[in-house]
Structure 1
Amino acid sequence: MPHIDLPAGLPGISAGFAFRPETAKPMRELAHVLLHEPNSLNPGERELIATYVSSLNDCYFCQTSHGAAAACHLGNSSTVKQVKADFQHADISDKLKALLVIAGKVQSDGKHVTKQDVDAAKELGATDMEIHDTVLIAAAFCMYNRYVDGLATWQPRQEGMYEEMGKHLASEGYRKSSMTAA
């Protein structure tokens, strides 16, 4: 049960966004730019970063919805499961593995990111923009995850709902909700 009177029937961040649309707008725009707009990291890779950070934060809604979006972009859900379980052995590029190291350190404390972490990512082909966006995705998803969990939003365990949400996020992005009240 949510800690405050959120709109009924809206899961996760959708309830908080409906409660306060004026704060939802910039939060949606940030997610859209980071995860959906053209970038040298493909949308599936960026969604994997969001999913990984959300799984480290144990935010069910975010890791499941962004995992579904990543699966849509990548064409499979097995990579998403591998990244969440042990990204070092997942079927992803070494560059993305190095970026996930950085994302994981940002998740625990941004000061844990070292010059060696950044240099390792650069040696594997990561650009300054990709490193910047990885850090920002990780930091933003710590905020989004804490927003969802701090309000104790409803986080149903209906896989089909998340698959549909993932399809919407992958095709339409983040500017408009994929959810309506039940």
Structure 2
Amino acid sequence: MAHIDLGVDETLFPGISGPLRYRPETAKPLMELAEVLLRGPHPLTAGERELIAAYVSGLNECTFCCDSHSAFAAAQLDEGVELVDRVRADLDTAPVPEKLRALLRIAGAVQRGGRGVGAELVDAARAEGATDLEIHDTVLIAAAFCMYNRYVDGLATVVPADPTTYANTAQRIVRQGYLS
């Protein structure tokens, strides 16, 4: 049960869904940001951007966001859940392109604190072919997910235990996005 009365059945509106329904005027810009960052036109695939969100959420130990975005990434990556699990378990040995690994390292640095992103991480990403847009948006995805994670966990929202919940939501997100 959440720390505050969200005015909804939390089993029907778990995780971020309850707080978004509680305060629709803040939900709109939060979901618009997620839509732009994770689904809008971009050189990184939607699956790669969802993987960044899942990775940061895992580092933040936000079960709802990590499980959600892991499912969303898996649904959009050819390698599926196996790749997501390998990235989350050990970024250094995960079978991802070096550019994505470098961007995930930047995301991890943002998760620990923005000042942890130094020239060496940016230079390493550029050396692997990352563009300024990809670096910018990696930092913004990581920062946004630190906020989303704290929003969900700070209100102690309900976390579904059934993994099919996340897989079902993933199908909706892939089809309709975050603004539906």
Matched, 1:18 2:21: yes
Matched, 1:68 2:39: no
How is 1:30-179 mapped onto 2 (pairs within 5 angstroms)?
Answer: 30-75=33-78, 76-176=80-180
Deviation at 1:28, TM superposition (A): 0.1
CA distance in 2, matches of 1:78, 1:137: 22
- Preserved CA contact (<8 Å) 1:106 1:112: yes
Aligned twin of 1:180: none
CA distance in 2, matches of 1:134, 1:18: 27
CA distance in 1, matches of 2:92, 2:77: 18
* Deviation string, structure 1 residues 88-134 (Cα, Å, up to 9, x no partner): 21111000000011000000100010011000000000000000000
- Report the TM-score when normalising by structure 2: 0.96
Letter in 2 for 1:4: I
Aligned twin of 2:5: 5
CA distance in 1, matches of 2:129, 2:113: 24
CA distance in 1, matches of 2:141, 2:92: 19
- Preserved CA contact (<8 Å) 1:2 1:151: yes
SS at match of 1:152: coil
Letter in 1 for 2:151: Y
CA distance in 2, matches of 1:168, 1:131: 28
User: Unpaired segments of 5 or more residues in structure 1?
Assistant: 177-182
Instruction: Write out the 4+ residue segments of structure 1 that deviate beyond 2 Å after TM superposition.
Output: none
User: Unpaired segments of 5 or more residues in structure 2?
Assistant: none
Aligned twin of 1:179: none
- Preserved CA contact (<8 Å) 1:106 1:135: yes
CA distance in 2, matches of 1:81, 1:169: 20
Letter in 1 for 2:30: M
CA distance in 2, matches of 1:28, 1:4: 21
- Preserved CA contact (<8 Å) 1:79 1:91: yes
- Report the TM-score when normalising by structure 1: 0.95
- Preserved CA contact (<8 Å) 1:50 1:138: yes
Quote the RMSD (CA, aligned, Å): 0.7
